[in-house]
Amino acid sequence: MRAFWVLPLLAVPALLLWAVPRAFTPSAAPTAAAADTRPAPYPADWRERAARVGGLRLCWGSEEEIPADLQRQDGAGQPDIGSPRAVLGGRVRLSCPGPYPAHWLRFGSTQPQFFHDNAFRTVDIPLVMRHPQTGASLPGTAATWAVRGQQVFFFLREGVRYSNGRPLRAGDYLLGALLRAECGDGGAQRLAEEAEELRVYGDGALSLTLRHPSPCPEQSAAALLTAAEPSFYAAFGSDYRERYAQRIPPTTGGYRVGRCERGRLVVLERVRHWWGREQPYLRHSCNADAVEYHFLTDEAQAWEFLLRGRLDALQTRNLTAWHRRAEECEAAGLRRVQLRAAEYPLPPYGIALNARTLPDVQLRRGLLHALDMGRATELLFRGEAERAAKLFEGYGALSAPEGEPPRYDPAAARAAFAAAGYTQSGSDGILRRPSGEPLRVRLCYTPNEKVSTLVQLLVAGARRCGAELVPDAQPWQSAAQQVQEGRHELLFWATAADTPLPRPRRLLHSSASGYDAPFGAQDAALDALIERYEAAPDAAALAAIEQRVRELALWLPGWRENQVYLLHAPRLHLPSEQEGIFTAAAPYELGQAHLYWTEP
């Protein structure tokens, strides 16, 4: 990762967001965490193992090597996050739109588990955090940081501990990089692509040297690093995936995974005596004693649970249900909150065209004109989403200037299809090549009510252009496997937006692979534009990438979901907008920073 993609309607995997059911095999309950609070020894051979890691230098230094004249920063002066009215205690019951996770691996798995966002990513504290409203850097596990050229120094807070009680040390970040590299994790590949050297200076400081400039290097560097607590990973070896599948790794956040009921429930328990409880920017989070996640894959079921008082909150993007059930919500005493995100990196929703299985660019261009995404989204969305125009949006001045998405144009589609060799029409109206091969393309998607309807609208529009669009409805894991193997043709797709900067390499570069590389791009010109952008990220460089994506016909923009609708019981409280209602994970996902609290 932490790179992942979703099919088809998940912005950032959220504890309250209703989206696509995901087919995971339920697994056994995890093991308990360790109780020893002493610093654990590092592997005796880790220096020798680190020397064998390619692409990134893993080094050990001493505190004397740290330049004495560094200008340290501490993020002071930013608005606090959360509400000073928040109180500790109580239990919050939430819904989770996906089956129970099949494993608890933080890295190294080829099967991403989206509940891990709730259990780990939105709980763990990074070295440096991003202020959700101002975008400024804030102290996380690092108390201060400094930048010199491409090298970013982090100086750890004293007293930071994992949820198992062990202390955090600088070497834990180096161990994390080592273990990821040894198990072939995608995060290790990203780290090697974006950084040259990771160096630790005793237990309290480390530095990461980036390969490319960044307007916010401390946030970029922090996003690349994950700590690994050495006692937990003491048994790491070639059987890591099997041995650790049901072991829950500790985090530096205010919650840890507690009780689990297979296929039904996971409870996050508040970490007692959490080190962040008195820290600015953290002190108003993780307030509830326990957060229950009930796995309800049907939103209609979640509505019933909420109305009967068995859930405390529901966050939805279904505007129709929001209006239709307003009277029931009022009768149940529920509070309704409508939220709209400000300028912020939003996940792209749309259709990815696989250049490997559809190598003819004229065919892909024809498909862009044959898929009436504009009409489909206009009919399906009643204000809860906006039509997207490009792949990378919400990055302020860095985002490419707003453009127009491909137009539905049957004449242009047929002209492009003819250039691709589809010059004859069959009795069914579907274009064919002289050999008799019909113009038939598969669209892979994970079904839900809205997406299934949208696909049918696209099928009808494509037929008017002479193309047979074959719906290929797949459970999420089956669709993910198609992408992993590169077998899909068209894919209904979305991915989490990178912060603070977009990372086109993981999506579009010839070296990209896995779940976030559905385009199959193998284009030297696009690679060169990506490398130019990495060397000097600016609006012109990003606009050039967007333009090349349009020329290659790799992406049909769908929509961006910048509004959500929240219902919650009166006993559940949220910070006001003035108090920092937005969260660092996404400004429209209230629960992701755990800023809510409940009446004891």
pLDDT digits (tens, 9 = 90+) for 503-521: 899 899 998 887 788 999 9
Give the containing element (helix H, strand E) for 307: helix 299-307
Answering whether pTM is above 0.85, one says: no
Percent helix, percent strand, percent coil in the chain, to nearest 5:
30, 20, 50
pLDDT for position 18: 34
pLDDT digits (tens, 9 = 90+) for 139-148: 999 999 999 9
Angle value at C-alpha 141, between 136 and 143, nearest 5 degrees: 65
pLDDT exceeds cutoff 70 at 584: no
454 — phi, psi (to 5°)?
A: -60, -40
pLDDT digits (tens, 9 = 90+) for 289-317: 999 999 987 888 999 999 999 999 998 87
pLDDT for position 237: 94
CB 552 within 8 A of CB 361: yes
pLDDT for position 258: 95
Q: What is the mean pLDDT of residues 204-213?
A: 94
CB 122 within 8 A of CB 593: yes
Joined together, the tokens standing for residue 243 give 């041995």
pLDDT for position 577: 66
Joined together, the tokens standing for residue 410 give 């049957």
pLDDT for position 590: 54
pLDDT exceeds cutoff 60 at 427: yes
List Cβ neighbours of 137 (8 Å cut-off, separation of 6 or more). 73, 75, 128, 129, 130, 131, 145, 216, 218, 219
Q: Give the three-state DSSP class for 313.
A: strand
Residues 554 and 544: their CA atoms lie apart, in Å, by: 14
pLDDT for position 33: 45
Q: What is the mean pLDDT of residues 401-427?
A: 92
pLDDT for position 210: 95
The residue whose two tokens read 């999420």 is 476
Nearest to 113 by CA among 125, 126, 103, 123: 103
Write a three-state SS string for 331-367. HCCCEEEEEECCCCCCCCEEEEECCCCCCCHHHHHHH
CA 462 → CA 29, 368, 376, 411, distances in Å? 47, 10, 12, 12
Q: What is the mean pLDDT of residues 341-362?
A: 85
- Looking at the chain, the whole-number percentage of residues with pLDDT higher than 70 is 89
Q: Domains of the chain: which residue ranges?
A: 349-560
Q: What is the mean pLDDT of residues 527-545?
A: 92
pLDDT band at 464 (very low <50, low <70, confident <90, very high): very high
Neighbours of 423 (CB within 10 A): 13
pLDDT for position 508: 94
Return the CATH number of the domain spanning residue range 349-560.
Answer: 3.10.105.10
